[in-house]
Amino acid sequence: MLTGKSEILKDIEDLSAAEIFDLILDNEMLDYIVTETDRYAQQFIESHPDLKPKSRAKKWRGLTKDDFRKWLGLTFLMGINSKPRVNLHWSTNKLYASGIFPAVMSRDR
């Protein structure tokens, strides 16, 4: 349970949405998320020696803060621009195409 006085410690009136978001998800938190994600991936790969050669896990490369921010932004955008299936955000079909998704990150990153 949280205790103490609830108050805003920084004037946010003149900040952009991205600047406010950075106050919530600061570099320390991003470092933690990236470190733990990489640790989990490594443990998963080591504990599954029978992974198929073409498995996405076999192609894992370390996560960066920039990668995570892009993924999170695209995830938020998926909530606004919904499709029947996640992979359709990267579709080249004119009915589903959303140019921003493949421009920001590959589908299998």
Q: What is the pTM of this model?
A: 0.75
Query: Which tens digit of pLDDT belongs to each residue from 44-86?
Result: 999 999 999 889 888 899 999 999 999 999 999 999 988 999 9
Residues 87, 49: contact at Cβ < 8 Å? no
Query: Which tens digit of pLDDT belongs to each residue from 35-50?
Result: 999 999 999 999 999 9
Per-residue H/E/C for the chain? CCCCCCCCCCCCCCCCHHHHHHHHCCHHHHHHHHHHHHHHHHHHHHHCCCCCCCCCHHHCCCCCHHHHHHHHHHHHHHHHCCCCCHHHHHCCCCCCCCCHHHHHCCCCC
